[in-house]
Structures are given as C-alpha cells and as structure tokens.
Amino acid sequence: MKLLFIGDIVGQPGRNAVKTLLPKLREQHALDFVIANGENSAGGSGITPKIAGEIFSAGVDVITSGDHLWDQKEVMELLANEKRFLRPLNYPAGTPGQGSGVFEIKRWGETPGEPNIKDGGRAQAPARGDARPTGLSIAVLNAQGRTFMQPPLENPFTLALEEVKRLRERTKIIFVDFHAEATSEKIAFGRFLDGQVSAVVGTHTHVQTADEQIFLGGTAYLTDAGFTGPHESVLGREIEPVIKRFLTGMPQRFEVAKNRVQLHGAVIEIDDASGKAIKIQRVAEALM
Ligand SMILES: [Fe+2]
Ligand SMILES: [Fe+2]
C-alpha cells in the first residue's frame, strides 16, 4: 500500500493547498491512504470540527495533532466524537480523545493508471465515490516529544512501544507521527521503533528535513515532514511581526502569511504482508 503524510496544515492557505493538490497527488502516486497533521489548520492555531470536516472532505483519512491541540475550545467536540482525529498518545490517562486508531484501507474506483474504457482509454484518477475494501487495515499513532516541548507529557518511548504491541495484533501496517522539536529525540524515537512500525515521520518544526531513509529493521523515517501553507513566511506566519518580536521581546500578533504556498510531506510505500517500508519519498509541491 501507499500512503501520503502531509506536514502541519497552516491556516486557510494550507487547507487550500490540500484541497487543490491532493487529487493530483492521489492520482500521481496511486495513494491508498492519506494522513495529515492538522494542529495549525484553524487560522494557524488548533483545529475545530468544521475545519476537520473540510480536511476530511478534501480526501484526508486521518488527522493528527500536537502541542497546538487545545488552541480552539471546539476541539473538545472532536476529541469526544471523531475517531479519525488523533491527539498525542502520551497525555495522562483520562485525557479525552485517542492517540491511535486502526482504519480500514479502501481502494478508490478503478486501479489508478489503468485505461478506463468509458473515457476512451485515457488513464483516469479514481473517483472518491466508489470505494472497494482491500481487507487491509492501517494503524496510525500520534505521540509528542518532551525535549523543549510544552506541556510535559508522559514518556512517549515507553507508551508508544506498549501501544504498538497492541496495534500489531490487529495490523502490521503502522504509521507514527512524532510531534517533537529536538532532532535527537526524533531520531532516537524512530530508531527505537525500527522494525516495530512501518514509518515514523516527525512534525512540529515546520522545516522539512532531507534525511528520509529506511532503517535496517524496515521502518521508513523522516525527521520532519515540513508544513503545508505559505512559505514566504516564518514557519507559516507573517515575517515582520516575528522579526519585531525577536528585536523587542514584545508580544506581537502573528497572522498567517499568504504567499508561496506549498504542500509538504512524504509518500511511503509499505509491503502489505510484512508492514515493512519499501520506499519513502519527500513531497514539496507548489500551489500554482
Ligand atoms: Fe505545527
Ligand atoms: Fe507543534
């Protein structure tokens, strides 16, 4: 199977990029499943049920989050009712929502790239309308780092390993979004889970790293997927207020920037039977 992971969607420009570019990427890569980090999707801070609905309608199957989880109070409704929305696993026991989920993989329409007789033999993107079950499931897990991160959560290493053991009883195809700041913590976390999960991709720094690789145990790894939104910016926000904040130390309003919108992430191909990664490829697609 092939999945696309989309790095932190920032505000309306980020959502537009997903809506516009996802159908093309789905066709180009013959994607079976799409996961996106949505922690900055509402005006750059947090997420609401309405915005999650918009992202799901654009073709995303599961939304992960991170330290901006609580920025919009409406998130409580998502945590209570939406199984396709994940929060970091390593919040204390009793926190609403879930840190992982197992989801059915469907294939959409005709096999992508296959000539479609009705369309005069032209290869056609699969329509979202006609889903075929594959009999395969994918587990998605979201965890948050503790180095240079707030709030201090439980140990993501021990909790993720326990959770992965449970998930592996249901499927070997397991994707992990590790939302963390320190490259050392992220790489160590990926190495720790090598051979236990299909992929570990980092989020939170909004800067795509160039270290995509498959570890010896078969786990695909990328320290950070980058962010989906305006790149003529500082991490998605207007440049001037951020510089002013660094110059003066005074609080500023950080509006979401507008220009040079890109979708960042990674396409990962996974062996259905073993759950091991076959290929990982970074994505940085410009919205024209
Ligand atoms: Fe973010
Ligand atoms: Fe974050």
What pLDDT was estimated at residue 288?
Answer: 85
pLDDT of 118 above 80: no
Quote the ligand 1 centre to 22 CA distance (angstroms).
20
Kindly indicate the confidence band of residue 133, based on its pLDDT and cuts at 50, 70 and 90: confident
pLDDT of 3 above 50: yes
Q: Is the peptide bond before 126 cis (omega within 30 degrees of 0)?
A: no
Q: Which of 29, 68, 179, 231 is catalytic?
A: 68
Quote the ligand 2 centre to 81 CA distance (angstroms).
23
| Closest-approaching ligand to the CA atom of 7 | 1
Query: For the chain, give me the number of helices (H) and strands (E)?
Result: 6, 12
User: What is the C-alpha to C-alpha distance for residues 267 and 282, in angstroms, rounded to an integer?
Assistant: 6
- Strands of the chain (E only): list them: 2-6, 33-37, 62-64, 100-108, 131-144, 174-179, 199-203, 213-214, 220-222, 229-230, 261-270, 277-286
Quote the ligand 2 centre to 206 CA distance (angstroms).
8
Query: Virtual CA dihedral for 284, 180, 63, 134, nearest 10 degrees?
Result: 80
The pLDDT > 90 percentage for the chain reads: 89
What pLDDT was estimated at residue 101?
Answer: 98
Query: What's the whole-number average pLDDT of the chain?
Result: 94
| Closest-approaching ligand to the CA atom of 179 | 2
- The pLDDT tens digits of the residues spanning 55-96 come to 999 999 999 999 999 999 999 999 999 999 999 999 999 999
Output DSSP code: residue 197.
B
User: Of 124-128, 154-158, 188-192, where does mean pLDDT reach its minimum?
Assistant: 124-128
- Region of 280 (left: φ > 0; alpha: ψ -120 to 50; beta: rest) is beta
Quote the ligand 1 centre to 84 CA distance (angstroms).
19
Q: Is 68 a catalytic residue?
A: yes
CA 186 → CA 8, 103, 147, 175, distances in Å? Answer: 16, 25, 10, 14
Rounded to the nearest 10 degrees, the angle between the axes of helix 11-29 and helix 49-57 is 30
pLDDT of 116 above 70: no
User: What is the C-alpha to C-alpha distance for residues 127 and 137, in angstroms, rounded to an integer?
Assistant: 21
Q: pTM of the entire structure?
A: 0.93
pLDDT of 123 above 70: no
**Which residue(s) pair with 107 in the sheet?**
132
What pLDDT was estimated at residue 128?
Answer: 54
